[in-house]
Amino acid sequence: MSFRGWLGVAKLLPGSSRRRPLVVTASPKTNTRVAVNMAEEAKKLAAYAAVDNHVQNNQVVGVGSGSTIVYAVDRLAARVRQEKMNIICVPTSFQARQLIVQHGLMLSDLDRHPELDVTIDGADEVDADLTLIKGGGGCLTQEKIVAGCARHFVVIADYRKDSKALGQQWKKGVPIEVVPMAYVPVSRRIVRLFGGEANLRMAVSKAGPVVTDNSNFILDWKFERPHNWKDVNSAIKMIPGVVETGLFVAMAERVYFGMEDGRVQVRDAPID
Ligand code: 5RP
């Protein structure tokens, strides 16, 4: 049923002589469910478009992390089966590795395949220049490494990630992976340099902090104003104890946005 269809369902009251129409409006819970379904459909559209347009036989493909990438791996596995393709996959996280294995795809790593044809990954937010915030799932370091080894880095996202400027849509801040012993000094330094607040990310189903696939911690830096992201990224990376930032500057070549109306919108990086 369409979004509109869910929102206003008119029924006739049984047993009523005048048969007054009863308008059933969706509860906030139903609205949330509809929005979630639309976002999932949008993720799938973006993921399928990216896999169909950017993956060819005999390629090495970087596999990103998160919930959108799940659709891309589904599509990739279906194409590999149907078209009898020879595709080698390099994961960006433990989750990506599991997806590759569970789908029966060929698993490799950067030791054996340090040069990739394409990496496909999700994002938490994408600005007008295709600067990304990534790391909502805590996998930013491996994601940046694998993206950096690919000839083409393609991003898949739903319409909620599309922003003119970073911070408009994504309110959780820029994830920054840090060596555990350094999280307090790094957090203080970032705030002193750029303002805002940098908080240690806490686990949800475990006591204590989130521990990354690289055994590090994550700081989420909530910034207060727009910045020059290239400069900020370089400056934060210079702080001792910082492993990587979730700012992906001038890396993405193309973003596929799945839209609410079922279209897929494509945005390319600006030409320098
Ligand atoms: C994980 C990431 C993800 O790609 C990002 O969080 C987007 O995830 P999702 O597809 O679930 O919205 O950077 O570290």
Centroid of ligand 1 to alpha carbon of 121 (angstroms): 8
Catalytic site residue 143?
yes
Residue 26 has what pLDDT? 55
Residue 3 has what pLDDT? 29
Q: What is the pLDDT of residues 109-145, one digit of tens each?
A: 999 999 999 999 999 999 999 999 999 999 999 999 9
Q: Is the CB of 143 inside a 6 Å radius of any atom of ligand 1?
A: yes
In angstroms, rounded to a whole number, what is the distance separating the alpha carbons of residues 39 and 41? 5
Centroid of ligand 1 to alpha carbon of 137 (angstroms): 5
- Nearest atom in ligand 1 to the alpha carbon of residue 136 is 6
Query: How far is CA 123 from each of CA 14, 46, 168, 234, rounded to the nearest angstrom?
Result: 50, 12, 14, 20
In angstroms, rounded to a whole number, what is the distance separating the alpha carbons of residues 249 and 60? 23
- Nearest atom in ligand 1 to the alpha carbon of residue 64 is 4
- Asked if residues 125 and 169 have their Cβ atoms less than 8 Å apart, the reply is yes
Q: What is the pLDDT of residues 189-200, one digit of tens each?
A: 999 999 999 999
- Nearest atom in ligand 1 to the alpha carbon of residue 140 is 14
In angstroms, rounded to a whole number, what is the distance separating the alpha carbons of residues 199 and 139? 17
- Asked if residues 257 and 161 have their Cβ atoms less than 8 Å apart, the reply is yes
Please say if the pLDDT value at position 102 is more than 70: yes
Q: What is the pLDDT of residues 202-234, one digit of tens each?
A: 999 999 999 999 999 999 999 999 999 999 999
Average confidence (pLDDT) over 250-254: 98
E strand segments, 181-216:
197-200
Please say if the pLDDT value at position 7 is more than 60: no
In angstroms, rounded to a whole number, what is the distance separating the alpha carbons of residues 83 and 256? 23
In angstroms, rounded to a whole number, what is the distance separating the alpha carbons of residues 229 and 11? 54
Query: Whose CA is closest to atom 1 on ligand 1?
Result: 137
Q: Across-strand partners of 244?
A: 177
In angstroms, rounded to a whole number, what is the distance separating the alpha carbons of residues 124 and 132? 7
Q: What is the pLDDT of residues 14-41, one digit of tens each?
A: 333 444 444 445 577 778 888 889 999 9
Q: Is the CB of 62 inside a 6 Å radius of any atom of ligand 1?
A: no
Average confidence (pLDDT) over 235-259: 98
Query: Whose CA is closest to atom 5 on ligand 1?
Result: 123
Give the closest residue to 132 by CA, choosing from 5, 49, 246, 11. Answer: 246
Please state, as a whole number, how many other Cβ atoms lie within 10 Å of the Cβ of residue 29.
8
Q: Is it true that domain 29-268 has CATH number 3.30.470.20?
A: no
Instruction: List the catalytic residue out of 143, 177, 244, 253.
Output: 143
Average confidence (pLDDT) over 34-51: 95
Q: What token pair was written down for 258?
A: 């799945």
Query: Whose CA is closest to atom 6 on ligand 1?
Result: 136
Query: Whose CA is closest to atom 8 on ligand 1?
Result: 66
Centroid of ligand 1 to alpha carbon of 69 (angstroms): 8
More confident position, 6 or 148: 148
Sequence ranges of the domains in the chain:
29-268
Residue type, 14: P
